[in-house]
């Protein structure tokens, strides 16, 4: 039995320790906000926070999360009003929207470490989050807006 | 046909052997250099043999000259495009351990070993020859303040170094080519090189 805290709630999972965390979140805990993209840590659609650090849930064995705190897009803010989420809405960032949960979770991890990131820092930290719609400029603008930088 | 059978088997066997390139993938033991009487020359020859491991893509790709790790046998840039960051472990939200686990991921094919990270810039190996590599390896200002004994310990026992011989499969399901020999054999070479005085090879520094 693997015990982890997901979005503040302790969960007990009777699963294979090597099961990707993404599978546990989506298929066992029914938290489908985190998306499956490539399954090989190449696209960033599955980013969640593990003890405050961004990780790619598709390649993270659920056993690594044992005893740790996992935050998904559903748990980023209790009312959906994290500064990044508000900036995302204000600027109409998403197009198809599939990558957005991963983008926001990566951006949130960045802002927790660098509250006022430069454009270069935003680009570096989000370089592994692909957006097939090409919304990169709006994504960067929204991160800056959430950070309160001009 | 009855007489051709063994011949065919022999030819096929030789072909398989050539494909695996066992000579190149092996590492000569220190004893095989015993014929070199001069201790300095023997140490130099042993280091050149050991440098085949250090300069192999499985090792050198994480000792890049730039800010991005490299991948593959052709040293291409890491995909996704990651940066070393201030601590050689990535940048916020895109740390090495955001993707790399403490062991290879068989299905996702993402390589992994404990404390996956880049070597510091001062330990860039890509583009160096054996002499320049040797000088860098011995220089405490560039090698993380390591003594020769610490270098031996790192080379012979570090699990991240050991990944070079158990690199798993690549993105396309093909076995990554491991470093020559084994970690133990590399350790034996470095131990012998140190015992002989740790002389560097004499070719021009690149």
Q: Which domains does chain A possess?
A: 2-75 (3.10.20.30), 83-147 (1.10.150.120)
Long-range CB pairs of B99-106, under 8 A, 24+ apart, other chains included: B99/A41, B99/A55, B99/A56, B99/A59, B99/A128, B101/A59, B101/A60, B101/A61, B101/A64, B104/B163, B104/B166, B104/B167, B104/B168, B104/B169, B105/A59, B105/A61, B105/B168, B106/B168, B106/B169
Q: What is the pLDDT along chain B (206 residues), one digit of tens a residue?
A: 444 454 444 444 444 444 445 456 899 999 999 999 999 999 999 999 999 999 999 999 999 999 999 999 999 999 999 999 999 999 999 999 999 999 999 889 999 999 999 999 999 999 899 999 999 999 999 998 999 999 999 999 999 999 999 999 998 899 999 999 999 999 999 999 999 999 999 975 44
**Chain B contact present for A87, CB below 8 A:** no
pLDDT at A122 over 80: yes
Task: Read off the pLDDT of each residue in A67-92 and give the average, rounded to a whole number.
Answer: 97
**Chain B contact present for A55, CB below 8 A:** yes
Give residue-wise pLDDT tens across range A5-40: 999 999 999 999 999 999 999 999 999 999 999 999
Work out the minimum CA distance from B118 to partner chain A, whole angstroms.
16
**Chain B contact present for A101, CB below 8 A:** no
Given this model, what pLDDT does residue B204 score?
57
- Residue pair B108/A39 in contact (Cβ under 8 Å)? The answer is yes
Given this model, what pLDDT does residue B203 score?
74
At which residue do the structure tokens 């303040």 appear? B145
> What is the model's pTM?
0.89
Say if the Cβ atoms of B109 and A58 lie within 8 Å: no
Question: Which tokens sit at B95?
Answer: 């740390």
Question: To the nearest whole percent, how much of chain A has pLDDT over 90?
Answer: 99
ipTM exceeding cut-off 0.90 for this assembly: yes
The span from the CA of A21 to the CA of A30, in Å, is 12
Residue A20 DSSP label:
B
Enumerate the residues of chain B whose CB falls inside 8 A of the CB of residue A40. 108-110, 171
- Residue pair A130/A99 in contact (Cβ under 8 Å)? The answer is yes
**Chain B contact present for A128, CB below 8 A:** yes
Antiparallel, parallel or unpaired: β A69-71 and A47-50: antiparallel
Given this model, what pLDDT does residue A150 score?
77
Work out the minimum CA distance from A56 to partner chain B, whole angstroms.
6
Question: Which three-class secondary structure string do you get for A43-89?
Answer: CCCCEEEECCEEEECCCCEHHHHCCCEEECHHHCCCCCCCHHHHHHH
Question: Which tokens sit at B184?
Answer: 């133990």
Enumerate the residues of chain A whose CB falls inside 8 A of the CB of residue B98. 41, 47, 53-56, 128
pLDDT at A41 over 60: yes
């Amino acid at each position: 039995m693997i015990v982890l805290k997901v979005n503040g709630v302790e969960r007990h999972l009777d699963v294979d320790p090597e099961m990707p965390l993404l599978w546990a979140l989506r298929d066992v805990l029914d938290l489908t906000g985190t998306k499956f993209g490539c399954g090989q840590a190449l696209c960033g659609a599955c980013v969640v926070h593990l003890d405050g650090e961004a990780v790619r849930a598709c390649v993270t064995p659920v056993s690594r999360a044992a005893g740790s705190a996992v935050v998904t897009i559903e748990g980023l803010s209790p009312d959906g009003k994290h500064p990044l989420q508000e900036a995302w809405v204000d600027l109409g960032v998403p197009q198809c929207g599939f990558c957005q949960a991963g983008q926001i979770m990566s951006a949130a991890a960045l802002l927790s470490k660098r509250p006022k990131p430069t454009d270069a820092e935003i680009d570096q930290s989000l370089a592994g989050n692909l957006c097939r719609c090409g919304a990169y400029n709006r994504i960067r603008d929204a991160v800056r807006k959430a950070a309160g930088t001009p | 046909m009855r007489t051709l059978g063994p011949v065919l088997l022999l030819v096929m066997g030789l072909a398989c052997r050539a494909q695996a390139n066992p000579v190149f993938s092996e590492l000569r033991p220190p004893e095989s250099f015993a014929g070199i009487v001069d201790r300095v020359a023997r140490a130099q020859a042993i280091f050149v043999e050991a440098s085949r491991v250090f300069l192999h893509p499985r090792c050198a790709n994480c000792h890049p000259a730039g800010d991005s790790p490299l991948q593959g046998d052709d040293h291409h840039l890491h995909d996704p495009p990651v940066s070393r960051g201030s601590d050689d472990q990535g940048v916020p939200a895109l740390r090495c351990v955001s993707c790399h686990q403490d062991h290879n991921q068989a299905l996702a094919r993402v390589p992994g070993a404990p404390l996956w990270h880049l070597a510091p810039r001062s330990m860039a190996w890509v583009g160096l020859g054996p002499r320049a590599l040797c000088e860098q390896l011995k220089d405490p200002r560039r090698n993380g303040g390591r003594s020769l004994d610490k270098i031996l310990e790192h080379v012979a026992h570090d699990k991240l170094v050991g990944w070079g011989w158990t690199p798993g499969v690549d993105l396309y399901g093909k076995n990554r080519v491991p470093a020559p020999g084994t970690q133990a054999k590399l350790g034996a070479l470095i131990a012998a090189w140190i015992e002989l005085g740790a002389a560097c090879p004499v070719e021009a520094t690149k």
